[in-house]
Amino acid sequence: MKRSHAIKLRDMMHKAAVSLDDEDALEAVELFPAWAVGKAYATDERIRYGEKLYRCVQAHTSQADWTPDGGNMALISGKYYAQDGVTYRCTRDTVNPVYAALKDLVGLYVEVV
């Protein structure tokens, strides 16, 4: 297979991955682009950081000291979050960013699914 064809196929897979629901997306993390410093991310854009999948909750340009695993994000009711191999569903908005591990927020803001 020619390199240019492989690149086109990769780009098509990235585009197709956008239409996956959250459950299927978590099973196909490798289909999503890797997080990069200095990139503008749109709200709801999903990216891969390490072996985990993240969804952007606020449009921004990424910074080296503001990584997806930083644990400093606002949680949105009804959305799913994964941390340390566990999936959580947010039961109420936090409004402000939280800095605690999700396991410590069970019963307050999230439930294990």
Tens digits of pLDDT across the chain (113 residues): 677 888 888 888 888 888 899 999 999 999 999 999 999 999 999 999 999 999 988 889 998 877 888 767 789 999 999 888 999 999 999 988 887 889 999 999 999 99
Strand partners, 60: 41
Q: What is the DSSP letter of 66?
A: B
Residue 12 and residue 10: Cα distance in Å, rounded? 5
At the top level of CATH, which class does the domain 1-70 belong to? Answer: mainly beta
- The full set of domain ranges for the chain reads 1-70, 72-113
pTM score: 0.58
